[in-house]
Amino acid sequence: MLAPADSTLATVPTFNALSDIYTSDLLKHAARFQLLTEAFIATYGFKPSFIVRAPGRVNIIGEHIDYCGFPVFPMAIVPDSLIAVRATREHRIRLANINPKYPSREFSCESGSSVTINNTTHEWTNYFKCGYKGAIEAIDCTNPQGMECLMDSSVPSSAGLSSSSAIVCCAVLATMKVNGRLLPKGDVVETAVASERYIGTNGGGMDQTTSIMSQSQSAVFIEFDPELKITPVKFPSTDPQITFVIANTLVVSDKAVTAPVCYNLRVVETRIGALILAKHLGIADHRACKDADPLTFKVVMDEYFATQDTAGSDDVQVWIDHLDAMLHASTEAFGAHPDGYTREQMAAVLDMTPDALSAAVHEDRFPVRAQQFKLLQRAQHAFSEALRVVKFRQICESGDTRIDYYTALGDLMNCSQDSCRDLFECSCPEIDELCALARRSGSFGSRLTGAGWGGCTVHLVLKDRVGRFIAALKREFYEKHVPNMNDEALSDAIFVTTPGNGAAFYMFD
């Protein structure tokens, strides 16, 4: 159920001026749109009807907790995916890519939602198919239009900036628009989240929500439970200005490929952790816990405190008190197994068979491989990371000029990285090296962003120190690891970003 907020009920906007989409570098963006249009004409012989764009995102703080039901604090970035589209009367979907390394494909759309997705093969068009299939199902379209599509993306792939979700969002929107039923933003988000699961990753919804719902100049505080709620949050006004730099480790980690031992395993660990924590707290038989599918740490926390009277209490303090209590409870619940549980041990705690436990957390759809399940560490990360997100927003909105914003926000980001490395174990040596170097080079806060195990890092840097900071990372990290990178590749690997707009349609005059 979506919150009755204007942002979720509005539809994705349509513009015919790039200045309504981008706030800077308009000539660069205009050249890219022109190149895509000309390439479309060269490929299909006609001009596209429209271009749909969906941005990547950088998560400032709140890693791996969206699927636990907790809020996150990302922002859209300027790099985006574009798909130029023309409707046809044929029952075929034709897909091509500006980048020649991605081969053109086509598939039949006569049967609509029966499109098959082979998620055992790493194929770029699978992400489009996910969005297409989900959109057709969402709008209940029985006689879908054919489409000719040409894609271009400036979001680095497998870098933790949600390049795959940007493609899925574009595909959902293109399919809805071509078939004449564009749903409100909130429904588009739900469709995109469900669609991407066809690829085999059990994501929580942050990436798609950010890509669709973001506003220029604001990060977004996203709450998922009990309903989707989007709150734009501006960063504090400081002098020098707070700036975020994204730096790619260039370690490729495709979460769809590594899901059984990385991403999906962490999801399963938190889901089983929620089941055991609910039993430990004596609320497993409560309707809120029994009916939840999946049961998440957020549902467990809310149900445990459901009878507490918080009227007149400060909302942030309530969050802090509840999360602190859950940190203590998780230590009690899982502390006897500091090195992890076997499947048999977890099943025994829950009075279930191992097969029944696997079914309860949907391993049939999202299989995992592990000998030990580290429930204590995953719970400690989830509750402490949610606490950092709440405090990060509180600091941003405080308006208290006595606060050292750089240090206060940076310390939370650094603690997040420590937790991702030590408790959630989703960092890697290159991320650790880059974050340590960044802090020595002037970053107040440095952490991985995205799923981790490679990909990008994000750094809080003062605006007047950005040039020196980037030069230091280029010299001491990139020249060491990739000594022959050209200037264009370096610019793609490390860059400044500001909060960008969410998804949009560009219509030709």
Residues marked as catalytic: 207
- Could you give the C-alpha distances from 37 to 19, 43, 106, 150, in angstroms and in order? 18, 10, 20, 9
β pairing state of 504-507 and 14-15? parallel
Is residue 444 within 8 A of residue 460, CB to CB? The reply is: yes
Q: How far apart are CA 160 and CA 428, in angstroms?
A: 13
Torsion of CA 343, 344, 349, 355, to 10 degrees: 70
Residue 389 φ then ψ, to 5°: -65, -45
- Could you give the C-alpha distances from 262 to 254, 259, 299, 322, 370, in angstroms and in order? 10, 5, 24, 28, 10
For residue 242, give the nearest of 448, 407, 435 by alpha carbon. Answer: 407
Identify the residue whose tokens are 């039923």.
181
Q: How far apart are CA 82 and CA 37, in angstroms?
A: 11
Burial class (CB in 10 A: 0-12, 13-18, 19+), 318: middle
Is residue 289 within 8 A of residue 283, CB to CB? The reply is: yes
